[in-house]
A and B are shown apart, each in its own frame.
Chain A
Amino acid sequence: MITNYGITNQFSLTGFLPIRYILNQKILFRGQNKNLYHGGKYFRESYGFGDVVIQARYQTTFFSVLPVVFGLGVKLSNGKVNQTDEFGDRISDNLQIGSGTVDPIFSVYTSQDVGRFVASGGFFTRISNGENIYGYQYGNEMQTLVNLDYIENSLLYGGIQFSYLLTTRDYYEYGKITRDRGGESFFFSGKIGTRATNKLDFELTLQVPIYQNLNESQLTSPFILQFGSLYRFSS
């Protein structure tokens, strides 16, 4: 859930409150887990509120025509990092819903109207702030995106987006590399939306990866279909 509150025309506060559910299934070989000695299917799951992100945004205009929004914030460490498996052993860090560290976040966003089109672009980064209490350090994250939206009328709009996501490797304590984490991806997204009322929008987005170079073996989705809504408390 994303909430945004405008304090002034230039300054606003944004909060991201993720509700997460993670389910992982793997096949164990004999001897790899003392609780499941002969091997077989092994399930781990975690769920609940993930790490909350709070960001302050400031909008200014460059060259009198180019609006730019700067965002500065933190990702909190409220998400649980001590979920256990069915045998009571703590599950892997990258399956926990929280990261266990408070990380700084920075973003830049700009947009420009060109007739019925709106061109926009942005940059977002999260810098990992060290190890959590279990010695695990998440990698850094950087995302850049370019949007081109088309507004047909007050009811219908659509758009396309190219985005690039780069995540670096995670590390265990003492610098040991975590396998199957990190890599880079390019995505293409198509979007169609409608302004149902003056206060309520509905949006449907289809995101397709066009290039991925991920470390080791990672599960990826061939496409992501996303349905979202936006409600304005005052307009």
Chain B
Amino acid sequence: MNKSAFILCFIFISCSLYQDTESPDIYFEYSDFDILPLGRSISDVIISDNNNNLFMTDYNNNSLLNINLSGDLFIVGQVQLGSHPIALDFNSDKSILAIALEGESKIQTVDISTFEILDEYSIPLMNVNDIAFINDSIVVISSKTDPACITVNLISFEVESQSVLKGELAMDQENNILYVATSSSIKKYNWDGNRFFQDSNVADPYGFNGVVHHFIFDSAKNTVFACISSSDDTVLPIQHVYSYFGSDMTFAGKYLIKSPGLAVAVSNNGSRIFTAPTDADKIGVFIIEFDQETKLESKYYLSAGNLTHRGLVIDSNAENLYILVNIPGDDNSFEPYNDFSFDLQRIKL
């Protein structure tokens, strides 16, 4: 072998040492997600009957947003509301939205077809945190500071104080049952057409002072789901989303997500449960899907950023998941209005 052939052979052998046979991992950037940039502080979200629109209360801008969901995501309309809208709920045919205001003692109703305010109702509560339709003419309202809830008749404007503890509300309209996630336990109240009465079935207390981030009722399986964290530093971090049977308020499931739940959504048939954890894992923030039967994780969906309470909605066909996401890049700056603002992300299931 002559010298030049030797050199070529050496280079070839050296090159062969560098074969990289590892498959590249998948890595996503913010722009890879299906995102509608909003930059808003959203307090509550609800989806329309036909899955074509998403309605959101914008807490900082005192407005109601209407988001188009068919095709590209975009803002269809916006209604100016009162001070700090905090929660919203649909009536039975999803034609009217009732909106609770945290910043004034008032609630408002909005007609979905015209997207205009229908009426305003003064209430004797301040620091309202949740609202729910009992039926098409009466809503129940909870406050962070007043110990008892009230009901408001949207036709007669009549207001009544109820023996219902404050908390997050979830209404079973079909059976006239109100579930309330209080700071200590889940309560069940039966509606007799005029007043609420506490049910004889009482759920066990959490065992700590809880902060409720989201609370929903699933009619398909007659269960309620509660996302709770502890406000007590001496309690070990809460790592589950809890569910209770509506019939007797016993434990129906405990869904391990390693940090307190911020939001939960259930498919229409009740078989798929989607949870939004507080903490990210090392790779990113994931929505975790559970199987209702096994109570085990079945899928993970990568989100574009941190999640928030009530910021998770599924459409009725279980085809799309909508989540509110926050990229914390600007959160620790001193620029005004750029802290903890949220965008809307769509995830195809």
Instruction: Supply 28 A–B pairs (Cβ within 8 Å), ascending by A.
Output: A27-B328, A27-B329, A29-B279, A29-B284, A29-B305, A29-B328, A30-B280, A30-B328, A31-B279, A31-B280, A31-B281, A32-B281, A38-B332, A39-B306, A39-B331, A40-B331, A62-B4, A68-B7, A108-B7, A108-B11, A127-B17, A168-B20, A169-B22, A177-B22, A177-B25, A182-B20, A215-B24, A216-B24
* Distance, CA A120 to CA B259, complexed state (A): 61
Which of under 10, 10 to 19, 20 to 34, or 35 or more describes the interface residues of B?
Answer: 20 to 34
Assess whether B11 is in contact with A28, with CB atoms less than 8 Å apart: no
* Distance, CA A27 to CA B328, complexed state (A): 7
In the complex, residue of chain A having the shortest beta-carbon distance to the beta carbon of B304: A29
Q: Which A-B residue pairs are the 5 nearest by beta carbons?
A: A31-B279, A29-B280, A39-B328, A40-B332, A216-B27
Of the residues A40, A127, A177, A217, contact of B328 by C-beta under 8 Å: A40
Interface residues of A in 190-229 (CB under 8 A from B): 215-217
CB distance from B33 to the nearest CB of A (A): 14
Of the residues A29, A68, A123, A142, contact of B18 by C-beta under 8 Å: A142
Q: Mark A104-136, 1 if CB is under 8 A from B, else 0.
A: 000010000000000000010101000000000
User: Chain B residues with Cβ under 8 A from A29's Cβ?
Assistant: 279-280, 284-285, 305-306, 328
Interface hub of B20, B282, B327, B331 (most chain A Cβ within 10 A): B20
User: Chain B residues with Cβ under 8 A from A94's Cβ?
Assistant: none
Residues of chain A whose beta carbon lies under 8 Å from any beta carbon of chain B: 27-32, 38-41, 62-63, 68, 108, 123, 125, 127, 140, 142, 144, 166, 168-169, 177, 179-180, 182, 215-217
Assess whether A169 is in contact with B3, with CB atoms less than 8 Å apart: no
Chain B contact residues: helix, strand, loop or mixed? loop
Assess whether A140 is in contact with B329, with CB atoms less than 8 Å apart: no
Interface hub of B10, B281, B328, B332 (most chain A Cβ within 10 A): B328
Extra A-B contacts (6), CB below 8 Å, given A31-B259, A123-B14: A27-B329, A108-B11, A180-B27, A215-B20, A215-B22, A217-B29
In the complex, residue of chain A having the shortest beta-carbon distance to the beta carbon of B303: A29
* Distance, CA A167 to CA B14, complexed state (A): 13
User: Chain B residues with Cβ under 8 A from A217's Cβ?
Assistant: 27, 29
CB distance from A191 to the nearest CB of B (A): 24
Q: Mark B25-38, 1 if CB is under 8 A from A, else 0.
A: 10101000000000
* Distance, CA A76 to CA B285, complexed state (A): 40
In the complex, residue of chain A having the shortest beta-carbon distance to the beta carbon of B307: A30
* Distance, CA A41 to CA B305, complexed state (A): 13
Assess whether A30 is in contact with B14, with CB atoms less than 8 Å apart: no
* Distance, CA A147 to CA B9, complexed state (A): 21
Interface residues of B in 70-101 (CB under 8 A from A): none
In the complex, residue of chain B having the shortest beta-carbon distance to the beta carbon of A214: B24
* Distance, CA A217 to CA B29, complexed state (A): 9
Assess whether B306 is in contact with A62, with CB atoms less than 8 Å apart: no
Assess whether B280 is in contact with A32, with CB atoms less than 8 Å apart: yes
User: Chain A residues with Cβ under 8 A from B4's Cβ?
Assistant: 62
In the complex, residue of chain B having the shortest beta-carbon distance to the beta carbon of A40: B332
Q: Mark B293-315, 1 if CB is under 8 A from A, else 0.
A: 00000000000011000000000
Assess whether A31 is in contact with B14, with CB atoms less than 8 Å apart: no
Interface residues of B in 16-62 (CB under 8 A from A): 17-18, 20, 22, 24-25, 27, 29
* Distance, CA A135 to CA B187, complexed state (A): 54
Judged by a CB distance under 8 angstroms, whether B15 is at the interface is: yes
* Distance, CA A125 to CA B15, complexed state (A): 10
In the complex, residue of chain A having the shortest beta-carbon distance to the beta carbon of B237: A31
Assess whether B278 is in contact with A30, with CB atoms less than 8 Å apart: yes
User: Chain A residues with Cβ under 8 A from B331's Cβ?
Assistant: 38-40
User: Chain A residues with Cβ under 8 A from B3's Cβ?
Assistant: 62-63
Assess whether A31 is in contact with B305, with CB atoms less than 8 Å apart: no
* Distance, CA A155 to CA B284, complexed state (A): 57
Of the residues B10, B22, B285, B329, contact of A40 by C-beta under 8 Å: B329
Assess whether B11 is in contact with A123, with CB atoms less than 8 Å apart: yes
Of the residues B10, B17, B24, B279, contact of A140 by C-beta under 8 Å: B17
User: Chain A residues with Cβ under 8 A from B7's Cβ?
Assistant: 68, 108
User: Chain B residues with Cβ under 8 A from A142's Cβ?
Assistant: 14-15, 18
Assess whether A125 is in contact with B328, with CB atoms less than 8 Å apart: no
User: Chain A residues with Cβ under 8 A from B27's Cβ?
Assistant: 179-180, 216-217
CB distance from A188 to the nearest CB of B (A): 21
CB distance from A84 to the nearest CB of B (A): 20
User: Chain A residues with Cβ under 8 A from B328's Cβ?
Assistant: 27-30, 38-40
* Distance, CA A177 to CA B279, complexed state (A): 24
Assess whether A30 is in contact with B306, with CB atoms less than 8 Å apart: yes
Interface hub of B7, B18, B282, B305 (most chain A Cβ within 10 A): B18
Interface residues of B in 250-299 (CB under 8 A from A): 259, 278-282, 284-285
CB distance from A61 to the nearest CB of B (A): 11
